[in-house]
Amino acid sequence: IMVNLVEGVGINDRTYPVSKNGIITKEYSLWNNMLIRCYNIKCQEKHPTYINCSVSDNFKMYSYFYEWCQNQIGFNIDDYHLDKDLLLKYNKIYSEDNCVFIPKNLNVLLTKSTAARGILSIGVTKHSNKFRARCSVNGIRKHLGSFDTPELAFNAYKAFKEEHIKELAEKYEDTIDPRAYLALMNYEVHIDD
């Protein structure tokens, strides 16, 4: 049997379907997109945060990834995303030990956006002779105050965001992996996030 590699590394051994009734399965979509993020140069040019990301040997096998998904808390919930770096901050490897499913709004909240923010710390913008602290909550920017220094603005942002993450952890505790809940409750915003 000839096997076509997906993105040069992924092996679909055809144990499980990639589509049902003409619709791509959630498992295959997640698996394929994960491989694209890690091994497709055009994707990495658009999204440089995925440069140097990789997939574990087990996750390169579609049948393994498919079976793993079936046993994960949150997998069958709409709008839950596959996350690779909540359990281990700055992690670059998609694997069964590092990945969990978390709600989209939590995943977006934890996303590092270096390119978007410029030279100031995350959550901080300059306005006249002051520094504003702002944080997005459900896609809406919340103004946290104006401060004399960027450090004071960042500290306000950090305190607010860490508290907001804990509130969301409590809200989703019953529908996320206990490891994800613990990571969220202990989450620290760093100045270089």
Residue by residue, DSSP assigns 143-155 as EEEEESSHHHHHH
Task: Judge residue 146's burial from the number of C-beta atoms within 10 Å of its C-beta, 0-12 exposed, 13-18 middle, 19 or more buried.
Answer: middle
Alpha carbon of residue 41 to chain centroid = 20
Judge whether residue 116 has pLDDT over 80. no
Judge whether residue 115 has pLDDT over 60. no
Q: What are phi and psi of 109, to 5 degrees?
A: -60, -30
Q: What percent of the chain has pLDDT over 70?
A: 95
- The secondary structure element, H or E, covering residue 75 is none
Is residue 155 very low, low, confident or very high in pLDDT (cuts 50, 70, 90)? very high
Q: What is the pTM of this model?
A: 0.89
What amino acid occupies position 188? E
Is residue 4 very low, low, confident or very high in pLDDT (cuts 50, 70, 90)? confident
> Which runs of consecutive H residues, i.e. helices, occur in the chain?
26-39, 41-46, 62-70, 104-110, 114-117, 150-172, 178-185
Q: What angle do CA 115, 116, 121 make, to 5 degrees?
A: 90
* Of residues 28, 185, 27, the one with CA closest to residue 106: 185
Is residue 109 very low, low, confident or very high in pLDDT (cuts 50, 70, 90)? confident
What span, in angstroms and rounded, lies between the C-alpha atoms of 98 and 83? 8
**Other C-beta atoms within 10 Å of 193: how many?**
19
What are 16's two structure tokens?
Answer: 């499980």
